[in-house]
């Protein structure tokens, strides 16, 4: 029996105050920097959302111009980082491991000790897309594309990935995605970032740890498998049979269930709306319809499977659909999540440092007691 004072998984434990995002898990609502998700995500540029998180309000036109220029000027990564990513690509290291290694090297930039946390935050947000895109191009045997300071954050990322300027629709689709997942309370990776900086360590270390936490399939690693599932479902033509088989064999259905939401994740609706455009225009409406059917069947069968839990669609379901629609390769889905969430990680790190208290919980000891030392030859 687990001691009742032990909060496994820190479920329902509140450990910080934040002005960054508010989640209402019962009603399925998300507010970012005071704005309802549905209003902010489809309208803001990622730079506007980032400014909102870092400064507590939306920027004026002049402020935004300066902010965009500062961020754009920090995008290039050192040659040494490119060398490391080349090695990672040659050895087939997965994308998130490459991102973790590449972003850790952001500290190679010259240091201005006075502004260290803010500088680190800017470097981490500006360089993470460059790290991900550079890795991906090298992985595909292509030369990296230098960032273009004249392009916005989202447009430049797509440009660095493909080598050509994206369409307005693609930029808007990605921007909506980046805004939707930028912050979400004390999720595992954000908590990791806060724990690291609470020791008065640096923001790049916080971000590096957070990348590691995001990578797992219970957090940010789900959208790749969601896409595989949707492609299989679409091919099988039998969503119900497919989902039933998965649940009967004891597998978790990727893209469903959430620690906080007891209803449909509000980000699913925003991402689904954003995704629809791509499938209407590309003529692959069938795939989108199959995804919607898989969602309906998934929710219905999870209700049968675990009636008391209210398992419903989470953010990763339509993340997969939207990113696939934009043309992002599935191997990069979690890295693109990191391109966005690094905004939240850094905002939380700065918030933590602003009013820091070392995060240091306790554990109940359940191991052996009363042992006596035995010399090695007697064991």
Question: Can you give the C-alpha Rg of the chain in angstroms?
Answer: 22
Q: How far is the CB of 173 from ligand CMC (least distance, A)?
A: 19
Polymer length in residues for the chain: 379
Q: 155-158: long-range contacts (C-beta < 8 A, 24 or more apart)? A: 156/72, 156/75, 156/129, 157/129, 157/132, 157/133, 157/339, 158/326
The single residue among 75, 122, 139, 219 that binds ligand CMC, judged by CB under 6 A, is 219
The single residue among 135, 316, 336, 350 that binds ligand CMC, judged by CB under 6 A, is 316
Closer Cβ to ligand CMC, 45 or 208, answer by number: 208
Stretch that binds ligand CMC, among 119-127, 158-166, 171-179, 247-255 (CB under 6 A): 247-255
Q: Token pair 């989640």 is at which residue? A: 23
Stretch that binds ligand CMC, among 16-24, 40-48, 308-316, 353-361 (CB under 6 A): 308-316
Beta bridge partners of 36: 31
Q: Is 255 in the site for ligand CMC (CB under 6 A)?
A: yes
Report the alpha-carbon distance of residue 321 to residue 286 in Å, rounded: 12
Q: How many residues bind ligand CMC (CB under 6 A)?
A: 19
Tokens at 88, concatenated: 């990672």
Q: Is 256 in the site for ligand CMC (CB under 6 A)?
A: yes
Of 48, 68, 295, 316, the active-site residue reads: 316
Q: What is the footprint of ligand CMC within residues 171-200 (CB under 6 A)?
A: 187
The single residue among 253, 321, 338, 347 that binds ligand CMC, judged by CB under 6 A, is 253
Mark whether 304 is an active-site residue.
Answer: no
**Contact string 114-153 vs ligand CMC (x = CB under 6 A):** ----------------------------------------
Backbone angles phi, psi at 35, to 5 degrees: -100, 135
Q: Is 37 in the site for ligand CMC (CB under 6 A)?
A: no
Q: Is 10 in the site for ligand CMC (CB under 6 A)?
A: no
Closer Cβ to ligand CMC, 247 or 359, answer by number: 247
Q: Is 222 in the site for ligand CMC (CB under 6 A)?
A: yes
Stretch that binds ligand CMC, among 38-46, 68-76, 215-223, 237-245 (CB under 6 A): 215-223
Q: Is 326 in the site for ligand CMC (CB under 6 A)?
A: no
Of 219, 258, 324, 348, the active-site residue reads: 258
CA distance to 178, 212, 232, 237, 332, per residue, from 135 (Å): 20, 17, 28, 36, 10
Report the alpha-carbon distance of residue 335 to residue 296 in Å, rounded: 28
Report the alpha-carbon distance of residue 148 to residue 144 in Å, rounded: 12
Mark whether 258 is an active-site residue.
Answer: yes
Q: Is 311 in the site for ligand CMC (CB under 6 A)?
A: yes
Q: Which residues of the shown chain bind ligand CMC in the complex (CB under 6 A)?
A: 187, 218-220, 222, 252-259, 306, 309, 311, 314-316
Positions annotated as catalytic residues are 258, 316
């Amino acid at each position: 029996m687990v001691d009742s004072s032990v909060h496994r998984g820190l479920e329902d434990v509140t450990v910080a105050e934040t002005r960054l995002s508010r989640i209402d898990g019962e009603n399925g609502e998300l507010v970012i920097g005071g704005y309802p998700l549905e209003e902010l995500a489809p309208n803001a540029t990622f730079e506007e959302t980032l400014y909102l998180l870092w400064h507590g309000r939306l920027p004026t036109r002049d402020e935004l111009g300066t902010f965009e220029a500062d961020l754009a000027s920090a995008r290039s990564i050192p040659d040494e980082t490119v060398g490391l990513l080349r090695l990672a690509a040659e050895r087939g290291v997965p994308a998130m491991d490459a991102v973790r290694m590449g972003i850790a090297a952001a500290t190679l930039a010259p240091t201005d000790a006075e502004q260290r946390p803010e500088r680190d935050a800017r470097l981490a947000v500006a360089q993470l897309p460059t790290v991900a895109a550079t890795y991906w191009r090298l992985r595909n045997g292509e030369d990296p594309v230098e960032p273009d300071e004249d392009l916005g954050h989202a447009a430049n990322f797509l440009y660095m990935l493909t080598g050509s300027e994206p369409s307005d629709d693609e930029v808007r689709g990605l921007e909506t995605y980046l805004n939707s997942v930028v912050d979400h309370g004390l999720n595992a990776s954000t908590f990791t970032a806060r724990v690291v900086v609470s020791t008065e360590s640096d923001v790049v270390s916080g971000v590096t740890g957070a990348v590691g936490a995001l990578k797992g399939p219970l957090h940010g690693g789900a959208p790749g498998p969601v896409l595989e599932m949707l492609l299989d479902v679409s091919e099988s033509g039998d969503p119900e049979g497919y989902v039933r088989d998965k649940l009967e064999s004891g597998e978790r259905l990727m893209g469903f269930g959430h620690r906080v939401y007891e209803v449909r994740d509000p980000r699913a609706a925003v991402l689904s709306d954003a995704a629809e455009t791509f499938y209407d225009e590309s003529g692959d409406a069938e795939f989108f319809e199959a995804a919607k059917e898989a969602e309906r069947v998934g929710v219905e069968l999870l209700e049968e499977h675990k009636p008391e839990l209210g398992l419903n669609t989470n953010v990763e379901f339509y993340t997969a659909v939207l990113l696939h629609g934009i043309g992002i390769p599935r191997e990069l889905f979690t890295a693109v999540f990191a391109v966005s969430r690094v905004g939240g990680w850094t905002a939380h790190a700065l918030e933590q440092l602003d009013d820091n208290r070392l995060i240091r919980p306790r554990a109940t000891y359940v191991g052996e007691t009363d042992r006596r030392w035995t010399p090695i030859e007697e064991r």
